Chain A
Amino acid sequence: MRSSLTNKRQVVLAGALALACVCFSVVLAHAEPEKKTDQKPAPKKLTGAELYAINCNRCHPERYATEFTAAQWKTIMIHMRVRANLPAAQAKEILKFLKEDAGN
C-alpha cells in the first residue's frame, strides 16, 4: 500500500516537474531579450524633404519644386547655400529632393 502511494507521488512529482519545465520553456521562448539601458538608438538621418521643411520657409514662403527646372534648382541651391549658410550635406539633400519633382 505504501509502495503504491510512493509510486503515485513520484508520478505526480514527475508530471509536475515536466509541466514546470514546459511552462518555463514557453516563458523563455516568449521572453524579450534584455534591453541595454545605456545604448541609445542611432539618430535618424533627416531626409531632403524634412530638411526642406526645416530650412526653406524660415525667411520666405516655400517654393514648389515644379517652379524651376532641375538645372535652375542646382543654381539656386548654391545661391541659397551661400546666402543662408546651409551646410553642404543638407544643401545636397534638399537639392536632391527638389530635383525629384522639378519642372521641365
Chain B
Amino acid sequence: MKISSFISGVAAAACVLGMALTPHAAAMISDEDFNALKSMVTNQDQRIGQLEKLHEQDQQTHQQDQQTIQQLQQQLGETQTLATNAEQKAEAAAKIQPANPVMNALHNFTMVGDAEVQFGQAKGQNSSFVLADFAPIFLYRANDNILFEAGFDVMLQNGSASGTNAVTTAPYTHDAGSSTSVSLSFAQLDYLLNDYVTVVAGYMILPLGTYQERGAGWLNKIPDDPLAVDFLPASGAGVQLRGAVPVGQSGQMLTYSVYGVNGPSSVDGSANATTLDANGNSIPNLDLAGNVGLLNSGNNANLNNKPSGGGRVGWFYPWQAHYDLELNVSGQTGTWAGNYLWSALVVDAAVHISPYLEVKGEYINTWQQTANAGNIQPTGWWVQAGYKLAGLDLDAPVVNDLELVGRYDTANDAMGSTTDRTTAGFVYYLTNTLLLEGDYEWLSNRGLNANGLPSSLFIVQLSYGF
C-alpha cells in the first residue's frame, strides 16, 4: 500500500514538473531555424508538385503505348491470318503441281547461217550479179545433250526455155525465167554421249579435211572454193563418233572422228572414169553427192556393195591466244561402183601467228579403181595466207578493217586435165559479220579441158554471217 502510494506520488510529481518545463523548451527554437524549416517544406511541396505532373505525363505516355501495342497486336493478328491463308494456298497448289516442277525450258530453236551476193566477170564473158547463196542452219536443242541441226543452200539460177525461132524456124534452147534450187547440205542428230564422245547420225558434213566443215561463205575469205575440194564428198548419210580430249591446261587438245557412210557412187552406173552429161560434155563419173540410201523407186539400198569408212585425227596446240598450230590427217575408203575401190587421204594444217596472220592449207589425194582407165589418182593441194592490216598499227580506220588474202591451188583430175590458180584478194570487215570480199584469179589450164575454163576472172562478194 505504501509502494503504490509512492509510485502515484512520483508520477504526479513528474507531471507537474513536465508541465512546468515545457514552455521553456519551446522557447529554445530560433526564427532562423524556423524559416529554414519553412523554406525546406515549401521546396518539398514544389518538388512534390513537379513529380505529380511527371507522373501524369508518364500515365498519358503509358496509355498511348498501350494503344499502340493494341494496334500492333491487331496488325500481327491480321498478318498471321494472311500467312496462314498463303500457306494453305501453297499447300493446295503443291497438291496440284508435280513434285519437281520444271524451272527452265529445255527446248530452244535457233537459226544461224550465212548469205552471199556476188558480182563477177570471167574473161570473155559478161559481168553479172549472182545470188550466190542463202544458207540457213536450223538448230533445235531438245535438251542439254541432244541437238538436231540442218543446213540448207538456197540458190537462184536462170531457167531454160526451148522451142522454135518464129522467124528462122530454127530450134533453140535458151536461158529464160528463173528457178530456185534448194539443197540439203546436212541434217544430223548430235547426241552428246559423254565428255569425250558425241554420236552424230544422219546426213553429215564429212570430216575429210577441214575445209568442208569450215567452208561457209562468210568463212572462206576467198569467194571461190579451192579446186581440189571437188575431189572429195562434202556430205554423206551415215553415223559418226567424234570428240576431243584436252591435253593439259593450256587449251591443247587431240581430236578424232570415226564414221561410216554409204560412200560415193557412179553417175551412169558403170565404173568408167568419165561419162557424158546431157550436153555431151565429158565429166567425171564419180558421183560424190548421191547414194543417200533412198532409191528413186522409194526402196532403201546402198548403190555400192559395201559401205565406206573414214575418220580424222587432229592435234591443236595453242601457246597463247591467237598463236596456235593445228594439224589433221583424215581419210576414207570403200567402194564406189559395185566392188571398185575409192579412197581418199587428206592432210591439212593451219597456223595463227598473232591476231593478224593466218596460214592454212590442205593436201588431197584420192585413189579410184575404174573399169576403163585402170587406177587413177586425182590429187591437188592449196595453201592460203591472210594478213589483217590492223597489225601494222597505222591508226587508219579503213585500213585497220582490211585483210589481204592470197592463195595458190592446183588440181589434177588424173583424166588429162590440170589446173593451177593464183588468187589475190581482200576482205573488208564492215562489221564482225558483214564482209565485203573481192578477188582476182589467174588460171592456167592444161590438158583436155584447157579450153573450157577462163584464163582469169574477178569476183566481188558481200557475205553476211548470222
A-B contact count (CB 8 A): 106
Give per-residue flags for A53-68: 1 if the beta carbon is below 8 A from chain B beta carbons, else 0: 1110111111110001
How far, in angstroms, from A63 to B464 measured CA to CA in the complex?
13
Is A46 an interface position by the 8 A CB rule?
yes
Given contact pairs A58-B350, A71-B110, a sample of 8 additional A-B residue pairs in the complex whose CB atoms are under 8 Å apart: A58-B326, A58-B352, A61-B429, A63-B433, A71-B108, A75-B139, A81-B192, A86-B244
Query: Does A74 sit at the interface, judged by CB under 8 A?
Result: yes
Residues of B within 8 A of A (CB-CB), count: 51
Residues from chain A with a CB closer than 8 A to the CB of B219 are 59-60
Q: By the criterion CB–CB under 8 Å, are B198 and A81 in contact?
A: yes
Q: Are A64 and B139 in contact (CB under 8 A)?
A: no
- B129 located at the interface, meaning its Cβ lies under 8 Å from any Cβ of chain A in the complex: no
Query: B189-221 toward A: CB 8 Å interface, digit per residue (1/0)?
Result: 010101110101000000000000110101100
Going nearest first, the 3 A-B pairs with the smallest beta carbon separation are A88-B195, A53-B321, A85-B255
Neighbouring B residues of A16 by C-beta, 8 Å: none
Contact of A89 among B149, B195, B256 (CB under 8 A): B195
Shortest distance in angstroms between B195's beta carbon and chain A's nearest beta carbon?
Answer: 4
Write out, one digit per residue, whether chain B residues 152-194 have a CB within 8 A of any chain A CB (1) or not (0).
0000000000000000000000000000000000000010101
Question: Are A87's CB and B246's CB within 8 A?
Answer: yes
Tell me the residues in window 79-128 of chain B with beta carbons closer than 8 Å to chain A beta carbons: 105, 108-110, 112
Contact check, B249 vs A60: say whether CB atoms are below 8 A apart: no
The answer to whether A64 and B432 have CB atoms under 8 Å apart is: yes
> Can you spell out 26 A-B residue pairs with CB atoms less than 8 angstroms apart?
A46-B249, A53-B321, A54-B321, A57-B322, A59-B214, A60-B216, A60-B465, A61-B435, A61-B465, A64-B432, A68-B110, A71-B105, A71-B110, A74-B108, A75-B139, A75-B140, A76-B110, A79-B112, A79-B149, A81-B198, A82-B147, A82-B200, A85-B244, A87-B195, A87-B246, A90-B253
Contact (Cβ within 8 A) A76 B324: no
Query: Contacts A68-B110, A75-B108 hold; do A60 and B218 have CB atoms under 8 A apart?
Result: yes
Residue in contact with A90 in the complex, picked from B137, B192, B246, CB distance below 8 Å: B246
- The answer to whether B243 touches A85 (Cβ under 8 A) is yes
Within 8 A of A (CB), among B419-460: 429, 432-433, 435
Q: Residue B77 at the A interface, CB < 8 A?
A: no
A53-B139 in contact given A61-B433, A79-B149, A87-B244 (Cβ < 8 Å) = no
Question: B109 contacts which chain A residues (CB < 8 A)?
Answer: 75
Bound-state CA distance A48–B357 (Å) is 24
CA distance A89 to B200 in the complex (A): 19
Chain A positions within 8 Å of B216 at CB level:
60
Partner of A72, one of B108, B248, B257, B322: B108
Give chain B nearest CB distance to A61 CB in angstroms: 4
Residues in chain B near residue A53, CB distance under 8 A: 321-322
The answer to the question of A51 belonging to the interface, with a C-beta cut-off of 8 Å to chain B, is yes
**Shortest Cβ distance from A66 into chain B, in angstroms?**
12
CB distance from A68 to the nearest CB of B (A): 7
Nearest CB in chain B to that of A61: its residue:
B432
Interfacial chain A residues near B76, Cβ < 8 Å? none
